[in-house]
Amino acid sequence: MSDTRRTLLVTGGCGFIGANFIRLLQRRFPSWRVVNLDKLTYAGNLQNLAGIAEGERYRLVRGDICDAELLDSLFASEGFDTVVHFAAESHVDRSIVGPGEFIRTNIHGTFTLLEAARRHHLATKGSEKARPCFLHVSTDEVYGSLGATGLFSEETAYDPRSPYSASKAASDHLASSYFHTYGLPVRITNCSNNYGPYQFPEKLIPLMFNNALQGKPLPVYGDGRNVRDWLYVEDHCEAVVEVVEGGRDGETYNVGGNNERQNLEVVTLICDLLDRKVGPLPSGQPRRSLITHVADRLGHDRRYAIDAGKIRRELGWEPKVGFAEGMERTVDWYLGNRRWVEDIVNGAYRFYYDEMYGKLGAAATGGRGDL
Ligand code: NAD
Ligand code: TYD
Whole-prediction pTM: 0.95
220 Cα to the center of ligand 2, angstroms: 8
Can you state the angle between helices 323-336 and 204-214, rounded to 10 degrees?
Answer: 50
- Predicted pLDDT at 363: 38
Nearest ligand by distance to the CA of 92? 2
Positions marked active-site:
140-141, 164
- Predicted pLDDT at 131: 86
Q: Does domain 7-365 have CATH number 3.40.50.720?
A: yes
Are residues 179 and 136 in contact, defined by beta-carbon separation less than 8 angstroms?
Answer: no
- Predicted pLDDT at 357: 61
Q: Which atom of ligand 2 is nearest to the CA of 221?
A: 19
Measured between alpha carbons, how far is 120 from 132 in angstroms, rounded to an integer? Answer: 12
- Predicted pLDDT at 168: 98
Which tens digits make up the pLDDT trace of 81-118?
999 999 999 999 999 999 999 999 999 999 999 999 99
- Predicted pLDDT at 256: 97
Q: How many H helices and E strands in the chain?
A: 14, 13
- Predicted pLDDT at 184: 96
- Predicted pLDDT at 280: 94
- Predicted pLDDT at 3: 61
Sign of the dihedral defined by the CA atoms of residues 41, 51, 59, 247, in that order: negative
E strand map for 172-290:
186-191, 194-195, 218-221, 227-229, 231-232, 252-255, 260-262
Measured between alpha carbons, how far is 146 from 278 in angstroms, rounded to an integer? Answer: 37
Ranges of residues in the chain whose predicted pLDDT is under 70: 1-3, 125-128, 353-371
- Give the mutation target among 11, 14, 16, 236 for probing the ligand 1 site: most ligand atoms within 8 A of CB: 16
250 Cα to the center of ligand 2, angstroms: 31
- Predicted pLDDT at 115: 97
